[in-house]
Amino acid sequence: MTDATPKPNTDATTQSAAETAAPLATPPDRLSTTPSSPHFDEELLTRGIGIRFNGVEKTNVEEYCVSEGWVRLVAGTAKDRKGNPMTVKLKGQVVPYFRDLAEQG
């Protein structure tokens, strides 16, 4: 009897692992600075991400989504009942970029 199960291709697995280890050239579609969010990614945040919203640099962005075209900005020093900063969701053109790539080029 012959074994008809296909053998895994080790070259493809090492290639995909190498691709995932390489740093991204473009930021993700959606990212959040809140650790409880499913869109939180500490590695990307420590790398440094800048946001241009409608052509203006924003430094108080809590969360963004490029495909849906919105950002969630911190609204002053007000807190909600759980102690999180109050946010405002604005719609417009969102352009995220990595700060380390912007400094190099």
Read off the pLDDT of residues 18-65 as tens digits, 9 standing for 90 and up.
444 456 788 999 999 999 999 999 999 999 999 999 999 999 999 999
80 or 103, higher pLDDT: 80
Query: Which is higher by pLDDT, 89 or 9?
Result: 89
> Would you call 15 helix, strand, or coil by DSSP?
helix
pLDDT attached to residue 58: 95
Would you say residue 79 has pLDDT above 80? yes
Please tell me which residue, 74 or 104, carries the higher pLDDT value.
74
pLDDT for the residue 101: 75
Share of the chain above pLDDT 90, in %: 66
**How many Å apart are CA 69 and CA 54, to the nearest integer?**
10
Listed by start position, the domains of the chain span 26-104
Q: Which two tokens stand for residue 37?
A: 């969010």
Report yes or no: 47 and 98 within 8 Å, Cβ to Cβ.
yes
